[in-house]
Amino acid sequence: MARMKLGFFGDVVGKPGRRAVVDHLPDLKARLRLDFVVVNAENAAGGFGITEAVAEELFSAGADCLTLGNHAWDQREALTYIQREDRMLRVSNYPVGVNAPGRGAHLYVTPSGHRVGVISVMGRVFMDALDDPFQAVERELDAMPLGSTVDALIVDVHCEATSEKMAMGHFCDGRASLVIGTHTHVPTADTQILPEGTAYQTDAGMCGDYLSVVGMNKDISLQRFTTRLPGPRNEPAKGEGTMCGVVVETDDATGAAVRIDPIRIGGRLAETSPA
């Protein structure tokens, strides 16, 4: 059975996250023979948004597609950069009539000729009020049917609530190769393949310094939590970053997942990666 290998790596937070990707992704991509790599990069520029220079750094390290989230426009240059960079996706469920720059889904072709669809969507539970993410994903799944229009399909579901991410996994089961959660910056232990062949993990985790509060300076965060007073501007922690994500193998004939493995490399967390 011919297989394709997909990599997905979670929210890159600041310089430690970028350094983890730059240090580890090139070797990982070569060693595991990854055909296509998606990186969520919405916190990559100083913890808030993304710039062209930061995006190019991640592309040079081996990312084939960058997804964003609720911090997409924190760096204003992203509003124009995304319009000329098809390899970067904002979420797809902006309200009808809003002319958001860029796109929320795209079909990419790998050097080997495989067609990979990527969909980015943001949840609504405890998040900014956008349109229904399930309807948005349904629309994009219909436009890129797995096994016919695309050989593999990845859905980045950027959500606060684990229940909403899990619901999206089941909603897409059999129609996507991978549904992977982002936004909460902590890798979950529920890596699995759902009954109809969709690989799933509730949160990929982050690429960043885990001696922190979700990648940000722990002292500033503690001051805000304990005093409820404004303090210094929040900033990323500055220690060694861990690179977190998953690797998925798919069946070329159907696009269904046949294997999913978690990835944690470098930094403070216990390391794991496929042999």
Place of tokens 């229009």: 149
Q: Which helix (H) or strand (E) holds 6?
A: strand 3-9
Smallest CA-to-CA distance from 59 within 107, 21, 115 is with 21
Within 10 Å of residue 211's Cβ, how many Cβ atoms? 15
Catalytic-role residue among 24, 71, 106, 158: 71
CA dihedral over 190, 21, 106, 158, signed as positive or negative: positive
Q: With contact defined as beta carbons under 8 Å apart, do 201 and 181 qualify?
A: yes
DSSP letter at 147 equals T
Please say if 71 is a catalytic residue: yes
Q: How many residues does the chain have?
A: 275
Active centre residues (catalytic)? 71
